[in-house]
Amino acid sequence: MDDSKSAVLARTWWQALARAGDMPALDGRGLQLLAGLIDDLANAVDADPFDVTVGARVGAALATAQLDDQRVPAVSAQVLYQLAERSVRPDAGQRLAGLLAALGQGHQLELDQARDVPSSAVDRGLDRTDRDERDARFRILFDNTTIAIAIGDTDGKLLEANRGLADMIGVSVDELRGISVYDFAHPDDRNDIRALLYDKLVPAGEGTVTLDRRLVRADGSVGWMSFAISYVKGNGGQPDYLLAIGADVTEQHRLQDELRRQARHDPLTGLPNRRYLLERIDELTTTAAEGDRAGLCFADLDHFKNVNDRFGHGTGDKVLTAVAARLNDVLSEHDCLVSRLGGDEFVVLVPPPATAAQITVISEKLLSVFSDPITIDGQQLQVAASIGAVVTPIVGANAESLLDAADASLYYAKTSGKGHWVLHTLQALT
As a whole number of angstroms, the distance between CA 402 and CA 407 comes to 9
Helices (H), 156-273: 163-169, 173-176, 190-196, 202-204, 250-263
* Count of CB atoms situated within 10 Å of the CB of 330: 16
**pLDDT reading at 204 higher than 80:** yes
Cis preceding-peptide flag for 353 (omega within 30 of 0): yes
pTM of the shown model: 0.59
Q: Is 272 helix (H, G, I), strand (E, B) or coil?
A: strand
Segment 155-179, tens digit of pLDDT = 888 888 888 889 899 999 889 888 8
**pLDDT reading at 386 higher than 60:** yes
With pLDDT > 70 as the criterion, what percentage of the chain qualifies? 84
| pLDDT of amino acid 339 | 93
Give, for 327, the enclosing helix (H) or strand (E). Answer: helix 313-330
Q: Specify the range with the lowest mean pLDDT, choosing from 188-197, 202-211, 307-316.
A: 202-211
Segment 41-100, tens digit of pLDDT = 999 989 887 787 888 889 889 988 888 887 788 788 878 888 888 888 887 877 887 788
Domains of the chain, CATH where assigned: 3-255 (3.30.450.20), 267-425 (3.30.70.270)
In which band, very low, low, confident or very high, does the pLDDT at 27 lie, cut at 50, 70 and 90? Answer: low
Backbone angles phi, psi at 175, to 5 degrees: -70, -20
In which band, very low, low, confident or very high, does the pLDDT at 423 lie, cut at 50, 70 and 90? Answer: low
| pLDDT of amino acid 137 | 46
Segment 88-110, tens digit of pLDDT = 888 787 788 778 878 877 887 78
128-152 burial: b if 16+ Cβ within 10 Å, else e: eebeeebeebbebbbebbebbbbbb
**pLDDT reading at 133 higher than 50:** no
